[in-house]
Structure 1
Amino acid sequence: MSLLLLWSVLLGWGALVVLGQQAAPTPLETYLNNYPSCATKCVIPTIDTLGHANTTLPEISSILCPDIPSRRQISDCLQTGCSYEDQVVAWPLQEVLCTRYPKDSKSAYIRNLTITMSLLASIFVLLRCYSRLYILRRFWGDDWIMLVAAVFMIVIAIALIWISTVGLGLHVWDVEAENIATIIKLYWIMRQFYIIVQVLLKVSILLFYLRVFPVRWMQISTWLIIAYMLLHGIAFFIPVIVQCRPIARLWDKRIDGSCIPLLDLLIPGAVFSILEDVVILILPIPCISKLNIGRGKKVSLVTLFSVGVIACFTSMLRLKSTIDTRDTLDETWESITSIAWSLVELTVATICVCLPSLKAILNHHMPRYFGSAKGSGYIGGVGVQRSVTVNVENGPGTEMRDPSRSQSHVREVEATVKGGVEAGRG
């Protein structure tokens, strides 16, 4: 009887020990008790796949923190499986676990690229201003438009540098929760100015066409394209502003409303931008081909106006990088490539718009090597003989109907490089 009682006591004690062991939470479970239940559902399965769910937190950190795919899996789960309120609470989870581990960062890269591209674009804008103010001694409409675009590019650069200091270039799970709204707001503002700069740069080159190609069909075509550019800019600018209704929902998901997926706006905008670049590139070629100048000068002119193909190429690369990141939830990291190509695109476009005016500086300071403006008209600095016959408006082999308009054209073209020459029409 006593033996039976002893066995009963031992079995009861063993059962209590087993139950106690099963009920005792693991260090990870104890840690996750501080976060919403949805966070537990995201973290535990991921750690289980690594085979370290029952170990200490330092051991879990040593396995999890260097494992970017696993951290991305947890981050994506939190963003898709938790309410916005729970996301805000759960967001520091990985930061606390991995606080001692280095963070992958592209912040310095995008910051340095922004500074470099801004300085490069500014140099060409300043050279253009020098050419106009001190050599030609006149500013035209396309120059003023270029200056406005340059100011807006500075705004973009400031916004990029700012958000690179608060999380752009980090994996989204390494961004502090309170900085996410700031990044979204600044990125939203930056996209608006990006559209404005794109439109202004293209309008600037089109106004330049109006000034140096006074042929009727070219004038009409150019004005129509300018009107289209303005309408296109408005058509994409407004949806970017009101991407979310109400707008504040863009950075505060606690507000009821709806949002248009950003890439549904960016991808069509990029496609249209590339098509516009192509049209602007080929637009002056018929006028240049009909000029009564040597083949070598025609090639030089076509080359000068076609350097914009580089900007078109960078636009294509930006579109590709945008499409490649279509499904990512790690936007602060994955969007860096697209942003970098956007910077390069705007810088190259600025250089292309300013390039025709730079020949004036070379002619003025180094006439021995680059020729003189005396006795010749110039389109952006490439020589065109004063006796040029513009056989574009009335067909091959015919003169322009208005001789005074032809002479005005020569003076206008000459004024793009020859200092002090009056550039009036009439």
Structure 2
Amino acid sequence: MTVARPYSDTIWDEVETWSRDRIESFQLSALRRQLADVGKRSRHYARVFRETGFEPGDFRSLDDLSALPLTRKQDYVAGLAEEPPFGSLAAVDLKDAARVHFSSGTTARPAPVLWTKPDLDRWADVYARYLYAQGLRRGDVFQCMFNYAWFVGGLGATYGAERVGALVIPGSSGDTRRQIETIQQYGTKVVIGTPSFMAHLAETAEEMGFDLPSSTVEMVCVGGEPGASIPGTRERIERQWGAKMFDCYGALECQPIGWDTALQLGPQLAEDYIHTEILDPDTLKTVEDGQRGVLVLTHLDKQACPLVRWWTGDVVVRDRAGTPDGRTHARLVGGVLGRADDMLIIRGVNLFPTAVEDIVRAFPGTTNEYVLVIDDSVKDAKTGFLTGVKLRVERTDDAPADLEYALTARLREKLSVRFHVEVLPAGTLPRTVHKAKRVIQE
């Protein structure tokens, strides 16, 4: 059956308007099929099901998923070592796979993830759904600044934009001056890339004497790292570009699964593509909507590398109330609030780097760049516990003379943590064309 898309002037697919009962009924049926299939085709999950005594045929409710253990990154890495090069979580023969993408490899060896042709088709349609929700339309000029080499983002965004009917310029990341010149010459309406690269481009445009707010760009779509859901970052980049900024949430293993709509109320999940759980990071029990927890994902129809109860490590707040535009799928209020493994504990206070970014990006007199530094000077010599955090920022030409003192006071007031602020000249900290590293060890 051919499905008519777009469904309406603002909604790409009718599935976005399903009732909660229909969403959960669909998920239950899809999971029954998916778990039975995964148990046969994935050697990793066949072993997990056998060891836990889980029978896919006995799956009766969505709550039954909790009988299965979580799948974590270390499980994926161990599977690669057990059955190289694609790992024991892979669920297709190589002859049935169409593509492989890789992780960035910033903390470990780059990990491969396989895709079949149906996986890629599904992926393109989910991307089209999110770009349409943010305002992309047929005939718009769409400049993709995600990396195309190895990284998953560039091709996904390209195929999604093409499915909507946009004209795609595959700019990739880097070559900042040419990116700005291309916007000028070809009337780009929508740009997409990481928040760090969008901030870097804004600085480049200023150096070139080009007034970005007067350009044709109306939408700045970002993903790959926190940014658009951090108020300080969103406000700064929207001001620098003179355009609305939209978030997208995803990862190599589950990509993309949530996105801002035109209402900018937080990423709305594709609940016909993935099932979500929100768990307390300590007890691993389900938390109620409106409470913080770690996002756990299960694919409903992924073929090549399906994941069951994938621990993302991302701290979120879920709301399943629906939104005023008629969309009914759950959303992540405030986007990703931090990562469970990135959280710093300073004298008993939980601190996420994203909370620091919100304050720095909203503070007058600072550039877009900052970095948190952890070293022995901010640790108790006896216990090894952190007593404070070093923060390096850059000053703008018009920064107030008391920037260091004022920013230190604001951080202490808002976060109840002692910061050692170091103010550097503009251009001192490294710029990035991909994902920025905001916490470093020295």
Q: Same fold (TM over 0.5)?
A: no
Larger radius of gyration: 1
User: What TM-score results when the alignment is normalised by the length of structure 1?
Assistant: 0.20
Bigger relative contact order, structure 1 or 2 (CA pairs below 8 A, ≥6 apart): 1
Q: Which has the higher helix share?
A: 1
